[in-house]
Amino acid sequence: PSVDFFRSIEGTLRLSPEQLLMVGDDLQNDFGGARSAGWHSLWLDRASSTNAVDCIRTLGDIIPRFA
C-alpha cells in the first residue's frame, strides 16, 4: 500500500511512525508496507516454523514481547 495510507492513520491517531505497530498476515502489504512507512511491524504467519524475530504464529505471541 501507499505510504499515504499509513500517514493517514498517523494523523488520525496523532502518533509518529515509531510509536505504531502493525501486525498483519500479508508479508508485502502489511509487514512490508508498515516497514516502508517507518512503523514497527510483525508478520503473523500461522504456518511458519521460523523463529525470525519479526514473525509470530499467533496474536498471543505479541504479549510476551511487551510484558
Residue 43 — φ and ψ, nearest 5°?
Answer: -95, 120
Q: How far is CA 45 from CA 28, 33, 51, 62, in A?
A: 12, 16, 11, 13
- Would you say 40 and 34 are in contact if contact means Cβ atoms under 8 Å apart? yes
Question: What tens digit of pLDDT does each residue of 49-60 get?
Answer: 777 889 999 999
Question: What tens digit of pLDDT does each residue of 15-47 get?
Answer: 999 999 999 999 999 999 999 999 999 999 998
